[in-house]
Amino acid sequence: MKKQANKPETKEASYYQLHTDAVEDLVTATKENTPKYSEEELNRYRSGRTKRKFPQGLKVALIKFWFYGAVCFFVFWGLGLYLAGLDLQFVGAIVLGMVTDLLINHFLRFTEKLPGGSRKWILVTRRGTAGFFMNLIYGFLLMFLIVTAYNMINTVIVAIFGSEGAPLLHVEPLGFGLIAMGADMLCVTIRNTLRKIVDDAKKKA
């Protein structure tokens, strides 16, 4: 019988050996000791084609435009046959506040990438019952700004074309949504600017 050739001993690879140094570095990682990489270098390790990114401000503006336009469609067009004048504006202001609190703000918080990332796009950041009633009051402010904007635009149109046959701007979802979104973004911008001024003053003090 032939003797089997002695095979060299092989050590079994330790596939499950834990690299404690790497784990410790990962656990103790902070913003200060984490290396920063450029966007181009990060894209090299991403699978698939890089998606085209839209500015966050544009996304927020489109979301608010859509919801406020829906308010015009369901309230001013839907209830326009039953209510008119100040009564319709009163109901519209309440619905604007409710939509802002229950739909727009919740949607922005749900889609934010980092915790608190949507705060700069929301005027009333407080949640709960207090935040809800604050947004109801904010709805009346929005309605006042919207009515003022419509009156100013139509005044300019009448001054240009005359009182007879002037192409006045009527209430419809697209125009209403655009004006309401602009009024909301204006209020948020003013709030952010004032907050930045106060924070800078505190740092210098």
- Segment 136-184, tens digit of pLDDT: 999 999 999 999 999 999 999 998 888 777 788 899 999 999 999 999 9
Name the nearest CA neighbour of 93 among 151, 137, 129.
137
Q: Could you read off the pLDDT of 125-136 as tens digits, one per residue?
A: 898 999 999 999
Note the pLDDT of residue 73.
94
Q: How confident is the model at residue 79 (pLDDT cuts 50, 70, 90)?
A: confident
Percent of the chain with pLDDT over 70: 75
With H, G, I as helix, E, B as strand and everything else as coil, classify residue 89: helix
As a whole number of Å, the CA-based R_g of the chain is 29
With H, G, I as helix, E, B as strand and everything else as coil, classify residue 40: helix
- From first CA to last CA, the distance across the chain in angstroms is 96
Report the 10 Å Cβ neighbour count for 2: 4
**pTM to 2 decimal places:** 0.71
- Say if residues 92 and 143 touch (Cβ distance below 8 Å): yes
Whether the predicted pLDDT of 61 surpasses 90 = yes
Q: How confident is the model at residue 39 (pLDDT cuts 50, 70, 90)?
A: low
Mean pLDDT, to the nearest integer, of 83-101? 92
Whether the predicted pLDDT of 3 surpasses 60 = no
Q: How confident is the model at residue 189 (pLDDT cuts 50, 70, 90)?
A: very high
